[in-house]
Homo-oligomer: A and B are copies of this chain.
């Protein structure tokens, strides 16, 4: 018989998941209520309101999808895209490839544009592709954790409006730790997860849809067999998934309260607490906190003599890419950091596998002690690996950045 759960103490300083805020875990330990209990529907309504503030939107259609971040992505794409619809995906890292992958499986006709990993697109490049391909949807990752850079989204919404294109972004890696303005940027759909800057566990995906997106989704809505009234139509173009049919999910979260899945109550408690904590701090202050600790981390890594990866003008606040020095065993360093110091940092994917580490400071771990501990441990591990490092160089450079912020 296996033992009761007893995970080792870890400081998760990779690209996410990160340590959950203990307040989120406590909220999740609250006892359950029934799915139509007035307390439960009240919590659902509050959660909608809280995530409107997190996404900076007035969208009524702001809900949770019960699954991990990619569940939210798939729900948005499968609900918005009909087979044969064209979608444009600017790919600047692994998660752009994931968008193409999901859209293809939805039956969409996918067009991509590419930049080298570590770079982002100019709005003009995107507009040219929009004109060339005339997609129904522009789907773009906001921050691609695989490369640590974020695509600027301001301006893309206007391009989409001008050309009659719907605009979706995957904000999993950025939301809560980087400026994100769903309405001001003209987004029609945005999805996220809890396990990055929102300081929660993976398993619930906040989703927001503009009125235009709701219209597109609702036009395809078919109530499911078993609860459908006789006079309700089954549409030929209904969404190719039941679980991810946002039209039905909106009916469950909306006034009609039409039964769909059984809401994942504990995850909802957690998602609600993540947003509550973020709004208590203030979204702008949380973004500034992520910026400060990200800058301190980046300065510290350079102070150790390491070279940052990616276009630093577009680096996400919450994760720093750093090149693995020649002659250093990247996985060996990660293993020693975890084994000797309990500190986890990440590797990357595809062309960057084995080339960079990814070090994050986000959510609950966007803290000075977490950053300094990580830099101190990394210095020791690099030295032990036979790599020349400046003694105290990482912590010193980070401390300087902190001094500038609060002299």
Contacts and interface: CB of A to CB of B under 8 A. Distances in A.
Interface string A240-280: 11111000000000000001111111110110110010011
Q: Copies per complex?
A: 2
A266 B203 contact: yes
B225 A100 contact: yes
A261 B69 CA distance: 8
The interface centre, meaning the residue of A6, A32, A50, A265 with most chain B CB atoms within 10 A of its CB, is A32
A265 B17 contact: yes
Interface residues of A, number: 92
A242 B70 contact: yes
A203 to B, nearest CB: 3
B2 A31 contact: no
A172 to B, nearest CB: 9
A17 B102 contact: no
Interface stretch (A34-42, A290-298, A394-402): A34-42
Contacts of A267: 201, 203, 264, 266-267
Nearest to A202: B262
A241 B242 contact: no
A16 B4 CA distance: 25
Contact of A265 (B39, B70, B201): B201
Given A25-B29, A32-B7, A262 B195 contact: yes
Contacts of A1: 276, 279-280
Interface string A27-71: 111111111010110010010011000000000000000111111
Interface stretch (A90-98, A150-158, A383-391): A90-98
User: Chain A's interface: helix, strand, loop or mixed, by majority?
Assistant: loop
Contacts of A273: 4-5
B32 A225 contact: no
Nearest to A78: B241
A193 interface: yes
A71 B241 CA distance: 10
Nearest to A97: B226
A32 B12 contact: yes
**What are the 4 closest A-B residue pairs judged by CB atoms, nearest first?**
A203-B264, A97-B226, A94-B226, A97-B225
Interface of A: 1-2, 4-10, 12, 14, 16-20, 22, 25-35, 37, 39-40, 43, 46, 49-50, 66-71, 74, 78, 93-98, 100-102, 105-107, 146, 193, 195, 201-203, 224-227, 238-244, 259-267, 269-270, 272-273, 276, 279-280, 338, 344, 349-350
13 contacts: A2-B272, A5-B30, A5-B269, A7-B31, A9-B31, A19-B31, A20-B32, A69-B262, A146-B226, A201-B264, A202-B261, A241-B244, A266-B266
